[in-house]
Structure 1
């Protein structure tokens, strides 16, 4: 059983592909159960974010995972195969460490991925698909990420997606403080965006959410108000800036809704940011003259600012990761010997119990205890040495490495008089 990582990310696939294989948080456990039940997978964890969908696996047949991924999302395998990567053991370990450390993120060094990986681990634990190998992999990934962030400047001068959105809005509107802003959703990304935009003191902040209570809780932190998602159609025209990031499997803002809003606004421009994967806003909306629509991929160019100052830190981080990968692979190699060690101990214990039972019978018959103990020690010695002695005798000179292996196992010194 080996370790593999299968996935699609912002390096290998455009948003239009990534959104087709995204997993919603509430369905991850069900997906893991389906993967474990339908395929010969021993351990599995799913990491699904705006920028990546990855399946971490302990299996002997990694090929089945790509087929399962396509089938689960009702796609043909050929539709996603050009964008898929499958990393074997060493590369998979290095990849996990780089992801946790923020080195593989669209925003180099961003810290959110660490929390997302921990959520993936929690879901796998609850689904019962996180075994010893993956548990060790992720715990080591978190330790490496902590070391990288505490000993390098990888997290310095980060331009987040939220900050990038504010920068772009500033290109459209001279003063954000005069604009009305609508945030759709109440998750971590929307909260982060709301914090950045609120710092510009906009005229109005409104949170639209499926549950009004959660929307109100977030809105109160920024002096705003909340509405239900069902009110979007009638309220959309009131807002100059719209930022959306929900877990909806389908777009919640369609072309027709935006067209009506633009007419009501008398063609005053609207700045829209869609941070969701799958997308919350239909792509056709971006083709309208009075709408400036940006997706997570569109923000990539903006977040690259400040990247140069962190490139030196990448070299240091990669060195740390390379060293930790070797350590993990050494641990993994020892795991491969666990079954044979267990079998060896079981065989020895069976021999011990058998000889102990024989000795107890002799004692029960009144045999001399000293002789019984002496006989027990001889019988045990003979049983333990029978297999290696027989192997050496049968090998003769055909296996030159066997004598050295036995000498190493039993910590023996060569007899200087082999013929005596």
Structure 2
């Protein structure tokens, strides 16, 4: 059984393809619950965000995981083949740690991805598709992410998708205090957008969310900095004209802002310019909106050029973080190897105990019959030593016969190290 990481991200696939294989929590929960009954592939976690969809799985082969990803989204495997990356075992562990640490994100070092990976693990646990071994890998990845953030500068110099949207707004509009901003959906991403814009001194923020309670929670968090108004989701279209900046990230499977909605809003605004940022995958805003005069439309892929200037210091720190992640991945795999060897070592020791008991019983019987105790002990130690060393002798002979001379040399050197440590230990007493 191997550990695989397989998926697409902003570097390997267009937003159109990422839309096709994106999962919302309800769909994913249903699919994983079904998969938990599949004995061939029932140990998996799926991470699906705006910039990536990845499957992490304990499986016999990557093709099985690849086929599931395609079938779950009604796609032919050939459509994914040239866009999907695959990692196995050590590389897969390293990739997961890089993702959790924000080293593989569109926004280098972004903190949101760690929470998203944790949520993905939690959802998979609820669907009963996480084994102890898979859970151990994820928990260690979270530990690695914490180390990266606390011991390197990758997590410093606040840079996030929300910050990028706020910076973009300041580039398009020179006077933030006169801006009215609308956030469509009050989830984690748009909450960051709202908080950054509030800190930058925009005039007003309109919050449009399906659930009023969540909109009210966000409003309470930023009301001390900016004038806030909550709008019912059903009134989204009729209020578009009030906003200079619109940031949308609903997670809906259908577009929520149409071409006609924006065209009507522009007319009501007397064609004053508008900035629309679509952070959702699948997209919330009709791409044709970009053809309207006076409208600036940015998607998640477009933001890359906006954020590059904010990443110089993080890129420098990322070099140090990459070294740390590679070392932590090696440590985890070493621990796993030791754990896997534990059963073999236990069985070897148990066999040694069986041999000891056999020889001890024989020796005690001979002494009870009146044999010379000193001779019995000499023969006991000789026979036991021979039996214990016999398997090692066989392995050494096989290694000496092997075509690769390095095999025997490696075993010889390791045995010499053991003997040397033994001699040194004796000299300490």
Alignment-derived partner of residue 199 in structure 2: 199
Equivalent residue for 1:119? Answer: 119
Query: Is it true that 1:102 corresponds to 2:102 in the alignment?
Result: yes
State whether residues 185 and 208 of structure 1, in contact with CA within 8 Å, keep that contact through their aligned partners in structure 2.
yes
**Alpha-carbon offset, residue 295 of structure 1:** 1.0
CA contact 1:39–1:64 (8 Å) conserved in 2: no
CA displacement, residues 211-245 of structure 1 (integer Å, 9 cap, x when unaligned): 12221232233331212211112222222211111
Q: Retained in 2: the 8 A contact 1:236–1:261?
A: yes
* 1:249 match: secondary structure: coil
Match in the other structure for 1:290:
294
SS in 1 for 2:6: strand
- Measured in 1, the distance between the counterparts of 2:22 and 2:137 equals 23
Q: How does 1:173-212 map to 2 (within 5 A)?
A: 173-212=173-212
Task: Verify the 8 A CA contact 2:35 2:42 in the aligned structure 1.
Answer: no
What is the rounded CA distance, in whole Å, between the counterparts of 1:396 and 1:211 in structure 2? 70
Instruction: Kindly report which structure 2 residues correspond to 1:306-345, keeping only aligned pairs within 5 A, or say none.
Output: 306-337=310-341
Are 2:278 and 1:274 equivalent residues in the alignment?
yes
Q: Distance in 2 between matches of 1:163 and 1:317?
A: 22
CA contact (8 A) 1:109 1:158 kept: no
Name the structure 2 match of 1:259.
263
Q: Which residue is 1:215 aligned to?
A: 215
Alignment partner for residue 236 of structure 1, among 229, 237, 240? 240
Distance apart, 1:7 and its partner CA: 0.9
Gaps of 5+ in 2: 362-367, 370-382, 403-407, 420-429
Cα distance in 1 for residues equivalent to 2:106 and 2:260: 32
**Secondary structure at 2:106 match in 1:** coil
How far the C-alpha of 1:271 sits from its partner, in A, is 0.8
TM-score, scaled relative to structure 1: 0.81
Q: Quote the Cα distance in structure 1 between the aligned partners of 2:284 and 2:345.
A: 54
SS at match of 1:159: coil
- Alignment CA distance shift 1:119-1:396 (3 Å): closer
Count, aligned residues: 394
CA offset digits 1:369-413 (Å, max 9, x no partner):
x99xxxxxxxxxx9xx999979989x99777589999x98xx99x
Question: How far apart, CA to CA, are the structure 1 residues paired with 2:346 and 2:291?
Answer: 65
Deviation at 1:60, TM superposition (A): 0.9
1:339 Cα shift? 6.1
1:180 shift after superposition: 1.8
Q: Against the structure 1 CA distance between its residues 176 and 333, is the aligned structure 2 distance closer, same or farther, given a 3 Å change threshold?
A: same
Shift of 1:174: 2.5
Show structure 1 runs of 4+ deviating over 4 A: 338-349, 385-393, 395-405
Contact 1:107 1:158 in 2 (8 A): no
Q: Deviations over 1:289-319 (max 9, x none)?
A: 2211111111111211132223331221122
1:276 counterpart SS class: coil
Shift, 1:274, TM fit? 0.9
- SS of 2:309's equivalent? coil
Give the conservation status (yes or no) of the 8 Å contact 1:44–1:56: yes
Q: 1-side partners of 2:29 and 2:345: how far apart?
A: 34
Q: Are 1:215 and 1:226, in contact at CA under 8 Å, matched by a contact in 2?
A: yes
How do 1:3-402 residues align onto structure 2 when only pairs under 5 Å count? Answer: 3-38=3-38, 40-223=40-223, 224-337=228-341
Q: Is the 8 A contact 1:206 1:219 kept in 2?
A: no
Contact 1:205–1:222 at 8 Å: present in 2 too? no
The CA distance in 2 between the partners of 1:388 and 1:43, in whole Å, is 41
Paired with 1:166 and 1:139, the residues of 2 have a C-alpha distance of 33
Two-structure CA RMSD over aligned residues (Å): 3.6
SS in 1 for 2:82: helix
Structure 1 unpaired stretches of 5+ = 360-369, 372-381, 413-420
Query: 2:26 and 2:85 mapped to 1: Cα distance?
Result: 25
Name the SS of the counterpart of 1:83 in structure 2: coil
